[in-house]
């Protein structure tokens, strides 16, 4: 696979993927082909970047790097959120919080919970149900003000979500930051909620599923991909091409075999709290495996000092590459 060295697109080019000239389109097609995707799939990833940038107020970068840390340009870490960084489904936690704050009607919440119950009964995700569930979630926010969702989401983060962080995974992300690497969240949850998490944790930015916004309100229409499975790969490649990241020097973290497309496109893949299928594949490919579920149980039962010791014992040091 080709490593991305230098910027493949002009700065800001991804902000208008419909306006690419012939030279840029040819460059996109060649790059996409080297990563076993079509040019149209890559352009869809670029639309996710456009949506993330608009949701963040014009820039995908949510936090400024520590000026005292030399930046290792081109190196980045990509973290899945659900059951990798945070215990459980982040969207479900946010939806419950929004229901308590009367953001949704009772009928809307019952519809959403029915879909979540279906996923739990089935015991695993599949692409069709994920797509259907996310589309229903997008429709739930139609007509609501984007700023209202962000404001309530920040409150829900502080009240219900921050305590669900896996300390070991957070420490991995912090080590990347201390090494001068960028740290990005890549999740199927709405991009506004992903950006709240990234901003609060001091990460570089976040990519998530994008809902169209017009006149400050959600339309219920999706922009780009649902960031699940191949959708994450499309968005990460678009980000790397736009920001000059070298994917051979990047690391990806996930708990789910559904994220194999993203895990397989970077130089280093790490299985965190892996499902059985990802654990099997990680062992076969000699990938690092980290399981912090026990650490979180220690934190809940014995407090932060014991959990911190367990996280250090179970973690590993990120070396500058």
Instruction: Supply the residues annotated as catalytic.
Output: 80, 82
Q: How far apart are the first and last CA of the chain?
A: 18
Environment class of residue 141 by beta-carbon count within 10 Å: exposed (0-12), middle (13-18) or buried (19+)? Answer: buried
* Residues counted in the chain: 321
Answer whether 193's CB lies under 8 Å from 114's CB.
no
In sequence order, what DSSP letters do the residues of 92-147 get, joined into one string?
A: HHHHHHHHHTTSS-HHHHHHHHHHHHHHHHH-S--HHHHHHHHHHHHHHTTTSBHH
Enter the tokens of residue 167. 């300390």
Helix (H) / strand (E) element for 206: namely strand 205-214
């Amino acid at each position: 696979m080709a490593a991305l060295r230098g910027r493949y697109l002009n700065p800001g080019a991804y902000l208008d993927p419909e306006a690419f000239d012939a030279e840029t389109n040819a460059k996109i097609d060649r790059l996409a082909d080297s990563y076993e995707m079509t040019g149209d799939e890559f352009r869809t990833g670029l639309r996710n970047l456009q949506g993330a940038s608009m949701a963040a107020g014009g820039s995908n970068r949510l936090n400024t790097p520590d000026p005292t840390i030399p930046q290792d340009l081109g190196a980045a870490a990509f973290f899945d959120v659900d059951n990798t960084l945070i215990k459980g489904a982040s969207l479900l936690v946010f939806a419950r919080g929004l229901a308590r704050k009367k953001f949704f009607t009772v009928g809307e919440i019952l519809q959403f919970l029915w879909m979540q119950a279906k996923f739990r009964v089935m015991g695993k995700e599949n692409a069709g149900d994920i797509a259907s569930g996310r589309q229903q979630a997008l429709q739930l926010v139609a007509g609501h003000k984007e700023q209202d969702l962000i404001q309530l989401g920040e409150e829900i983060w502080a009240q219900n979500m921050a305590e669900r962080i896996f300390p070991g995974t957070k420490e991995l992300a912090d080590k990347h930051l201390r090494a001068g690497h960028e740290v990005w969240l890549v999740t199927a949850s709405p991009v506004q909620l992903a950006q709240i998490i990234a901003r609060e944790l001091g990460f570089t930015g976040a990519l998530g599923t994008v809902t169209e916004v017009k006149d400050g309100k959600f339309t219920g229409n999706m922009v780009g991909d649902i960031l699940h499975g191949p959708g994450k790969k499309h968005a990460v490649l678009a980000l790397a091409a736009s920001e000059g990241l070298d994917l051979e020097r990047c690391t990806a973290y996930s708990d789910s075999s559904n994220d194999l497309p993203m895990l397989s496109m970077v130089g280093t893949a790490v299985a965190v709290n892996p499902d059985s299928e990802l654990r099997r594949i990680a062992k076969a490919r000699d990938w690092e495996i980290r399981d912090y579920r026990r650490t979180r149980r220690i934190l809940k039962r014995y407090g932060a000092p014991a959990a911190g010791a367990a996280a250090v014992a179970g973690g590993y040091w990120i070396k500058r590459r």
